[in-house]
Structure 1
Amino acid sequence: MMASAVSSINHSPSDQSKQMMAQLQAAAQAPDQVKSLARIIADFNHMPSDEEKATLAQLFP
């Protein structure tokens, strides 16, 4: 699901990809890392914000 969303990003994720990322964020069983990454992917617009860069640095040190 996440790989599909990332591979289809062209400047920003499609509506379908945003819906998939929202499902991941809402999933009770999804790990916090997955939820954080799903939020970043859903909000992605050309380049990550400073806040998203900091979150990525924490998720993948």
Structure 2
Amino acid sequence: MPPSRDPDEAGRRRALAAILFLAALVIGGVWLANTLRRESVREDCLMSGRRDCAALDTTR
């Protein structure tokens, strides 16, 4: 006789998969929002006529 599986195990797997999927969506959404915000700031700078709109390296 094959070993019986816990019926809750499948439900836990589905819940974990759903949580991982939602976490990936949230992380992707935050990344996309930040990217769009940076591009918007850069485009605003360029539209104002400035030419030095590249992000400056201030880590030095």
Same fold (TM over 0.5): no
Tell me which of the two structures has the higher relative contact order, counting C-alpha pairs closer than 8 angstroms and 6 or more residues apart.
Answer: 1
TM-score, reference length from structure 1:
0.31
TM-score, reference length from structure 2:
0.31
